[in-house]
Amino acid sequence: MATFGTLSDRLTETFRNLRTKGKLTPADVDGTVREIRRALLDADVALPVVKEFTAKVRERALGDEVNKALNPAQQVVQIVNEELVGILGGQQRRLQFAKTPPTVIMLAGLQGSGKTTFAGKLAKMLEKDGHTPLLVACDLQRPNAVNQLQVVAERAGAAIYAPEPGNGVGNPVKVAKDGVEFAKQKQHDIVIIDTAGRLGVDAELMKQAADIRKATDPDEVLFVIDAMIGQDAVNTAKAFQEGVDFTGVVLSKLDGDARGGAALSVASVTGRPIIFASTGEGLEDVEPFHPDRMASRILDLGDILTLIEQAQSAFDEAEAAKMAEKLATEQFTLEDFLDQMQQLKKMGSMKKMLGMLPGMGQMKQQLDDFDEREIDRTEAIIRSMTPGERRNPKVLNGSRRLRIARGSGMTVTDVNQLVQRFDQAAKMMKTVARGGMPNIPGMGPVPGGGRPGASAKRGKQSKAQKGRQGSRSGNPAKRAAENAGIAGTPSTPTGSGFGLGGGQAAPSEADLAELQKLLGKN
């Protein structure tokens, strides 16, 4: 997650320096704690939170649990991880629903914090779970706020109650109260009240929010805060807690390049849990907040659980079983490949998904260079083929490939690369489907690979042969690079996993000759 990029880098570098130590001395611990303190302060974490956090880490790091550990560096990482989970709120807290519908959820926060957009995101998320939310437009001060909520509601496919035009016209307290009654009449089981904000905390804002709370008696009051406001987050949160009080926190704009101090401060300072994190501008870009998973992301330990949940929501089990059968019977075609890409796109940004893998913080440049449009380009090429060509790519001669390139706005080289990589991927998947281990290009033979049941001759190896066995590095990126060197291939990938080159791949002489020949005929 981009928000914690700098903090994550600083902490990872600090722990890397510990790995060379066989045993940690008090001086080592003090040095580590000092670096952690600097990293947190640079990330705009509130000073009281930093003091308490580092004191706990130091106390535990000097205790017996580290001294007796086989790997002190790993033990310190574990301590920091556990303490991070603590200041982020400990356990995940879900929305509390009313015993008798409708459940009333009131949103509060400063102007520009993302309340209106979050209202739409929350409505869409709740609709997926079978609820029937109603959005109530109570921000009657900000210009066009009511119109904005109407647009958001339409995009989310949610109902809206907006009897007043806004722009300074109407009584927000009456609208909120009437909105709850309207929801009861129309049998909406959830009411989401979007309230007004101000550029700063003032008495008028607090009075209006407090009056709406009193009139509607909400089951949840969610304080929406911009993750990019840094140290001000704590003061703003305290002011809202005293003036209105809230039951939970929503962190918005976590996809920005902020330093993330708000996330690490608000829950600890207010004692209120973070319930949701908004991670992008799309209505799907919101997720329940898990303190343990967020701590793992910050420490570059990955977030596999969230990745699995996203995959489960995007992929159909029946379709997956059908696809597995096709792989096993060697019937996987480019049409199936296109279907798989469609499901992959439902999961959201590829960069975000890749960023959830452990250790990806060390491959930041590769992630930054990844072009999300590669999937769209590959899709364009496949859609330019006829159904017969998708089912049997072997019929793709030169003239067909030229037609496909023109139809998709790509080059013949791009089409060639897609077909070539699809063939390689299909062979690998067939091997896996049969229970074997594939030979991955650029990495040499995979240990235990080859045909299932085939016996390997094991004789004495020379030193040169042993040197060519492959890397045993625990770092996947380093292992791939070293194995690529052993196999005599460049360690830098020459194309993307979706069949296209890096965007600037030069066509071969054979391609150019073929293209000229074909153009000459037209």
Binding site per annotation, positions for GTP? 109-116, 194-198, 252-255
Task: State how far the Cα of 69 lies from the Cα of 23, in Å rounded to an integer.
Answer: 9
- Residue 243 has which token pair? 């003036």
Question: Rounded to 5 degrees, what are φ and ψ at 64?
Answer: -65, -30
Q: Which residues are annotated as a binding site?
A: 109-116, 194-198, 252-255
Number of CB atoms found within 10 A of residue 264's CB: 27
Residue 106 makes CB contacts below 8 A (sequence gap 6+) with 176, 193, 195, 212, 213, 216, 218, 220, 221, 222
Residue 440 zone, left/alpha/beta (φ > 0; ψ -120 to 50; rest): beta
Residue 70 makes CB contacts below 8 A (sequence gap 6+) with none
**Dihedral over Cα of 167, 173, 174, 175: its sign:** positive
Residue 142 zone, left/alpha/beta (φ > 0; ψ -120 to 50; rest): beta
Give the orientation angle of helix 26-42 with respect to helix 47-61, to 10 degrees. 160
Q: Contact at 8 Å (CB) between 35 and 15?
A: no
Task: State how far the Cα of 171 lies from the Cα of 164, in Å rounded to an integer.
Answer: 8
- Residue 112 has which token pair? 């520009």
Task: State how far the Cα of 154 lies from the Cα of 135, in Å rounded to an integer.
Answer: 11
Task: State how far the Cα of 216 lies from the Cα of 184, in Å rounded to an integer.
Answer: 13
Query: Residues, the chain, total?
Result: 522
